[in-house]
Chain A
Amino acid sequence: MSVLVVVECDKGEVKKSSLEVATYGAQLAAQLGTSATAIAVGEATDANLAKLGEQGISKVLYDKEPRLKDFVNNAYTKLIATAAQQEDAKVIVLANSNIGASVGSRLSIRLQASLATNVVELPKTDGGQFTVKRGAFSGKAFSDVVLSGERKIIAVKKNSIEAQHEAGKTAEVVAFAAQLTDADFADAPKQVVMQDQAGGVLLPEAALVVSGGRGMKGPENWNLIEDLAKALGAATACSKPVSDVDWRPHHEHVGQTGITVSPNLYIACGISGAIQHLAGVNSSKVIVVINKDPEAPFFKAADYGIVGDVFDVLPKLTAAVKALG
C-alpha cells in the first residue's frame, strides 16, 4: 500500500503545482502510515527529480521514453496505471491541471477508483471514511465529498497547499518502463505551441497576479500592468471583455468562463468585479482592487483597495515595489 504522486515536469524542472502535489502526497502518506512514491511525466532531469525528497517523496519512478516528453493522454494513463499497480497504490494524487485532471478521469475508470478534482485540503480519514474538501460552484462554495471504494484519485487545486522544502533530503530516482507501444501514442500531439512568455510568469502557476479590465481603456496602456507585474514577479491577467476585443490573449481571461486562479495576491485594476469575474478569482488569498468608482462591487470582495485612477496609481505602486529592493 502506498500513495502515488504524479509529478509534471517541463524543460527539466518540476512544475510548482507538482511540488505542491508532492507535498500533499507525502503528508497524506504520513497520515495513512505509508510512504509516497512519485511517477514523473514530461521532461525531467534526474537531479531535479531527486530533489523531490525535499517535499517528502522517498522514490521517484521515471520512464525515459522520449515520446512522453509531451502530454499524450493514453500513454500517460497507461504509464501511471502501470506504476499504480506496481506500487499497490491506494491513493493517486495529481495536480488539478489540464494534464492531471484529464489523466485522472481516465485512470478512475481503468483502476475503478473514485475521483475528486479541485481538492483544497488533506482528506479526513478517521472513522474509516475518506472525505475530501473541494471547490464547487466556481469558487462560490466548497463541498465535502466522501470517496468510496478501494482506490481513490485526488486532483489538488493549485496554490491550495504550500510546498514544503526540507533541504538536503533526496529521493531515489528509479528507471521505470511501462512497455508503451505505438498504439499508446496514437493521440500524441502533432505540434506543441507555447505562449510567448518573454520574461513573464505563467498565469496558471503564478503566486502573484496583476489583472486589468476595461478601465485600462486600451491595449496601449497595458505597459502599466506589465511594469507592475514585472516588478513583483507576477503574471498578468484580464477580464473577459478585454480578451473578447483582443486587447489581450484569451489565455489571460480569468473568471467563470475563463481560467480559475487562486494566487496569494490578485491585484485588479479597472475591473468592476462582476459575479462571473469573481468566480475565477475569489479563492485568491489576498485581493487588491484599484478602481475609480468607490461603489464598484469588487471592493466588497477585496482585502485592500485604492479608490483612484489606474493611470495615476499603477506607476506609484510599481515605483514603491522597486523601492523595496
Chain B
Amino acid sequence: MKFLVCISNVPDTTTKITFTPDNKEFNKAGVQFVINPWDEYALTRAIELKEANAGSTVTVINVGEADTEPNIRKALAIGADDAIRVNAAPKDAFFVAEQIAAVAKEGAYDVILMGKESIDYNGFQVHGMVGELLGIPTVAPAMKLDMSGNTATLEREIEGGKEIVSVNTPFVASCQQPMCEPRIPNMRGIMTARTKPLKVVPATAGDARTTVAEFALPPKKQGVKLIDADNAGELIKLLRNEAKVI
C-alpha cells in the first residue's frame, strides 16, 4: 500500500495574527510554523496503517518554498519514509490541489490522506479538488479509518452524526480527531530523518483561481460588562433587552 500524506505549513495555534502594513499578506515575522494540526492525524494514521501492512510506504508531500523543510523533516522524524516538496508558493487551494494530483498520479498512490482543513486559510477544499481531479472518491472529514486489503471503512462526520462509508483504493480522505493519537518525533526518528530522501520537484503548470485582495482583523470588542454574581438574573434581562439575543 502506498500512502501519500499532504502536509501544510501553518502558523502555530497560539500565533497572534497580524498583517503587513498594506494588509495584503500575513506577517510571518517571528512566527513559529508547525505542521497543520489536522495533518498530524493523517500522518500518524498512515504510519499506523503502514506498520500493520507490511511492504507499505508513507510519502509526505508539501507544496511550498524551502522554508517549509523543517516541518517536512519533522514528518520524516515522526515516521514517514520519504518526502516530496513541490517548490512553489501555494497560490491558492486549486493550485495546491493540482500539484498534489499531479504527484499522486505520477506515483500511483493508493491512499491520499490530508487534514480536514488548514488552520490558516480554512479552505476545506484541497481534498475534494484532488479527488475530483483524479476521478476518485473523497471522504471528508473522516474521524476513523480502517483498511482491510484494498477496502477502507471510514466514519465521516456529518452535522449531527456520522456516516459509515466504505471505499476501495485509490481514494482521498481528510482526517480529524479522534482518528488516532498524533505522534511526536523521538530522538531516533530525528536522527534517521536527516538522511531520508526529500525530493524537490518543480510545480506543474497551474493557475490560481482566487487572489486575496486584503486581510482584516475582526472589530475590537467594546470591553466586558460585568454583572455581580449575587445578581446573576440581571444578565438574562440584559441579554433579552440590551443584546436582544434571547
Chain A interfacial positions (CB closer than 8 Å to B): 10, 15, 70-71, 73-74, 77, 96-99, 101-106, 108-110, 113-118, 131, 134-149, 186-195, 197, 202, 204-205, 208, 232, 250-251, 256-257, 264-265, 275-276, 279, 282-283, 285-286, 288-289, 299-309, 312-313, 316-317, 319-321, 323-324
Enumerate the 9 nearest inter-chain pairs by beta-carbon distance, A residue then B residue, closest first. Answer: A105-B128, A308-B229, A320-B233, A189-B163, A194-B161, A114-B209, A109-B132, A316-B232, A320-B236
Count A/B pairs, Cβ under 8 Å.
Answer: 256
Taking the closest CB of chain A, its distance from the CB of B211, in whole angstroms, is 5
CB pair A257 B224 closer than 8 Å? no
Question: B209 touches which one: A96, A147, A251, A312 (CB < 8 A)?
Answer: A147
Within B229-246, which residues are at the interface with A (CB < 8 Å)?
A: 229, 232-233, 235-240, 243, 245-246
CB pair B235 A105 closer than 8 Å? no
Residues from chain B with Cβ under 8 Å of A188 in the complex: 165
Taking the closest CB of chain A, its distance from the CB of B97, in whole angstroms, is 8
- A-contact bits for B1-40, CB 8 A (1 contact / 0 none): 0000000000101100101000000100000000001100
Compute how far the CA of A251 lies from the CA of B138 in the bound complex, rounded to whole angstroms: 21
Closest to B153 in A: A190
Taking the closest CB of chain A, its distance from the CB of B227, in whole angstroms, is 5
Closest to A17 in B: B159
Residues from chain A with Cβ under 8 Å of B215 in the complex: 136, 141-144
With A148-B209, A286-B245 as given contacts, are A137 and B17 in contact (CB-CB < 8 Å)? Answer: yes
CB pair B132 A301 closer than 8 Å? no
Q: Which of B120, B124, B129, B159 has the most CB of A within 10 A?
A: B159
Compute how far the CA of A275 lies from the CA of B211 in the bound complex, rounded to whole angstroms: 28
With A74-B137, A321-B246 as given contacts, are A117 and B123 in contact (CB-CB < 8 Å)? Answer: yes
With A109-B132, A141-B218, A306-B229 as given contacts, are A118 and B122 in contact (CB-CB < 8 Å)? Answer: yes
With A138-B122, A191-B164 as given contacts, are A286 and B243 in contact (CB-CB < 8 Å)? Answer: yes
CB pair B218 A99 closer than 8 Å? no
* B226 interface contact, C-beta 8 A: yes
With A189-B156, A320-B236 as given contacts, are A106 and B128 in contact (CB-CB < 8 Å)? Answer: yes
Within B189-246, which residues are at the interface with A (CB < 8 Å)?
A: 209-218, 221-222, 224-229, 232-233, 235-240, 243, 245-246
CB pair A317 B243 closer than 8 Å? no
Residues from chain B with Cβ under 8 Å of A189 in the complex: 156, 163-165
Residues from chain A with Cβ under 8 Å of B170 in the complex: none
Residues from chain A with Cβ under 8 Å of B228 in the complex: 306
CB pair B13 A279 closer than 8 Å? yes
